Structure formats: C-alpha cells, structure tokens
Amino acid sequence: MGWWRWGFLLLPLAVVAPFLSDYRLYLLSWALVFLIPGIGLNITLGYAGQISLAQAAFFGLGAYTTAILTLHDWPFWLALPVGGLLAGVCGFILGFPALRVKDHYLAMVTLGFNIVIFVFLRNWRELTGGVNGLTPPRPTLGALDLSGDLSFYYVILVVAGVTVVSAQWVVQSQWGRAFRAIRENEIAAAAHGVSLRNYKTLAFALGALYAGIGGGLFGALLGYIDPEAFSLARSLEFLILVVVGGLGRFAGPFLGTLVVTVLPEALRAFGSLYLVIYAALVLIIMLFLRQGLVLVLDGLLAVGRWLLKGSYRAVRYGTPGD
C-alpha cells in the first residue's frame, strides 16, 4: 500500500504558501504545473519505456481546450478535465504508431506529431487566435473567486495532489507492472499475455492526460497562451525533466521539476552566463548520475536510515513505489 503517502509530500507546500513573496509563490505554482506533465511523461517513458517527444503538444492541447471552453463560458472545473481527456484521447491514438516503431523511430513519429499540433495551433486563427494567442481566465467556485495568486496556487496544489496520488496508484497497480514488463522485455511480456496494444496505448493516453491537465492549469496561471509555449523545445524540456530526475522512479519528476523550473531562476544572478552554467550542470548530472538525481536521494535516504537504525539497506532501482 502506501500509494496515498506521496500526497503528504505536498502538505508542507500548502502550509508555507501564505508566507512566500509573490515571486516565490509564482515560481512554486509554475513548478507544480510542470510536475503534472512530468509525472505523465514518466509513465509513458519512465515506466512503459515509450519515448515521446510530443508531451508539449498534449500540454498545448489541454491548455487550448481549457482556454477556449472557459472563454465560451464553460466552468473551469468542467473545461479542465475535458482538456485533459481530449489530450488523453490524442495520446491514445499516438500510441498506435508505438506498436510498429520503437526507440529513435518512435521519437521521430512523436516529434512529427508535436510539429503538426504546433502548426495547427498557430494557423487555425479562428479557433486558437493564431500567434496572438488566447487569454484564458482563472476559475471561480460558486461565489468564491479563485483568481488571486494565492487561491489559484491552492487550486494547482490540489490538482497536483490528485495527480500524484492517482499516478502512484497506477504505477503500483498491475498496469504499472505491465508497463515495466514492456519496458524491460517486449517479447517476454507478450509471451506472458501482456497485450502490447492495450498497454502501450494506455501508457501514451495516461501520459497525455496528465499533460493536458497540466496545460489547462498553465494557461490559467499565465493568463495568456500562444503556440510558442508548446513547441518542440518545450517537449525537450519535459524530456530533460524526467531523464535528469530519474526515469521510472516516482521521485524522478519531483527532482526533475526543480531542475527545469527552479534551477534556471536560481542561476539568474549569473546574468547572460546562466544558460552555459545550466547546461553544464545538466551535463554533469547526466555524466555522473546516469539514473538521475534520484540516486542522490537514494544515497541520502540510505545515510539517514543508517544513522537512525544503524542498518544499511540499498534501495533497489526500479522499485515501483519509490
């Protein structure tokens, strides 16, 4: 069990929020919005082993669907799940090419899909506003106005909490096991009755669903979206997020999110050098911690356990829960 425990991780974030400066609160909101598609991509790529360079496309589909619907006076609480579902259905469809191609070929297919969605968002001006973008509103709940920075932060936090708990349930279920079986050995998985069609499309659909939900929050957080936010560069950012954090480990996207959202801000003091330092740091992480930053966490946990109990127990890579 323990699938709900990860939800507690977000509790301190609820407590500290009122004491943060506007800037820090915004940064934390931004990080939580990125955590959601990160957790999604970790299911597709980390657990099921299916490379996807289309996460930004699903992020965009969710953002635009939610924005368009709320601008047509749909309640945010309906528009957000609809945006997630639409992205999820597109992810399901994109799962079918994954039945025919693998690895870098699959990367090319998903990359192409991202470009198609990008062009579609930019050129269908009547629907998407083209390069001018859209200005989605923030939600209300009955008479309660949730558009303030702090109250919208709590909206994001709740959705992130649901994401974390539900994703943890999935990866600990037999679905999660089937995903890992496919990642580790497709032939063996099929020989033991695992339907590659069902589980690969599911892995894509789930990853895209979370991306779409994150996208809906992203639009409302910024109050403005344009196609540039959902280009291939953003997909690469999500890829860095899950790889640097640690693929197929539940803690991976949490750490990866910090690298992608908080680290660049922390390096801002270096001015124009910041990108160089950022790239160098990411490179160093990947060179020395190939399994990602979760290795640092494993080390710290092992030391902590040793200090507390005097016993050392290594955390096994790929353990579903951690």
Partner 1 sequence: MALLEIKQLKKYFYDIHAVDGVDLEVQPGELLGLIGPNGSGKTTLFDCITGMQRPTAGQVVFNRRTLIGLTPDQIARQGISRTFQVLQIFPEMSVRESMLMAAQEFQGTLLTRLLHRREDAAVARAEHLLRMLGLWHMRAESAGNLSYGQQKLLDFGMALMGQPSLVLLDEPASGVNPTIIGSMGQYILDLNAQGLTFVIIEHNMDFLMSLCRRVVVLNQGTQIATGTPAEIRANPAVLRAYFGG
* Nearer Cβ to partner 1 (268/316): 316
Q: What is the chain's percent helix, strand, coil content, to nearest 5?
A: 75, 0, 20
- Tell me the C-alpha distance between 12 and 32, whole Å: 13
Token pair of 261 as six digits = 């959202």
- Interaction of residue 311 with partner 1, rule CB under 8 A: no
Candidates 103, 145, 184, 228; binder of partner 1 (CB under 8 A) is 184
- Interaction of residue 177 with partner 1, rule CB under 8 A: yes
- Tell me the C-alpha distance between 113 and 194, whole Å: 27
Residue 61 · residue 90 · CB < 8 Å? yes
Sign for the CA dihedral angle at 115, 133, 35, 201 comes to negative
- Tell me the C-alpha distance between 54 and 69, whole Å: 23
- Interaction of residue 173 with partner 1, rule CB under 8 A: yes
Candidates 143, 187, 269, 314; binder of partner 1 (CB under 8 A) is 187
Question: Which residues have a Cβ under 8 Å from the Cβ of 96 and sit 6 or more positions away?
Answer: 201
Candidates 11, 162, 195, 299; binder of partner 1 (CB under 8 A) is 195
Among the listed residues 99, 110, 103, the one whose alpha carbon sits nearest the alpha carbon of residue 200: 99
* Nearer Cβ to partner 1 (86/181): 181
Candidates 141, 145, 198, 300; binder of partner 1 (CB under 8 A) is 198
Candidates 6, 47, 175, 238; binder of partner 1 (CB under 8 A) is 175
- Tell me the C-alpha distance between 152 and 273, whole Å: 33
- Interaction of residue 145 with partner 1, rule CB under 8 A: no
- Tell me the C-alpha distance between 228 and 54, whole Å: 14
- Interaction of residue 197 with partner 1, rule CB under 8 A: yes
Question: Which residues have a Cβ under 8 Å from the Cβ of 258 and sit 6 or more positions away?
Answer: 31
- Interaction of residue 314 with partner 1, rule CB under 8 A: no
- Tell me the C-alpha distance between 208 and 41, whole Å: 8
CB of 242 to partner 1, least distance (A): 17
Cα→Cα distances 32→69, 182, 195, Å: 23, 29, 33
Stretch touching partner 1 by CB under 8 A, among 14-22, 191-199, 231-239, 276-284: 191-199
* Nearer Cβ to partner 1 (6/113): 6
* Nearer Cβ to partner 1 (156/294): 294
Give the β-pairing of 140-141 and 144-145.
antiparallel
CB of 169 to partner 1, least distance (A): 8
- Interaction of residue 140 with partner 1, rule CB under 8 A: no
Stretch touching partner 1 by CB under 8 A, among 53-61, 169-177, 214-222, 238-246: 169-177
Count of residues near partner 1 by CB under 8 A: 27
- Interaction of residue 193 with partner 1, rule CB under 8 A: yes
Candidates 149, 172, 305, 315; binder of partner 1 (CB under 8 A) is 172
Backbone angles phi, psi at 145, to 5 degrees: -90, 120
Q: Taking CB under 8 A as the rule, which mask of x and - marks residues 1-20 in contact with partner 1?
A: x-------------------
CB of 159 to partner 1, least distance (A): 21
- Interaction of residue 191 with partner 1, rule CB under 8 A: yes
Stretch touching partner 1 by CB under 8 A, among 28-36, 54-62, 196-204, 269-277: 196-204
- Tell me the C-alpha distance between 135 and 220, whole Å: 8
Site residues (vs partner 1, CB under 8 A): 1, 170, 172-175, 177-178, 180-181, 184-185, 187-198, 316-318
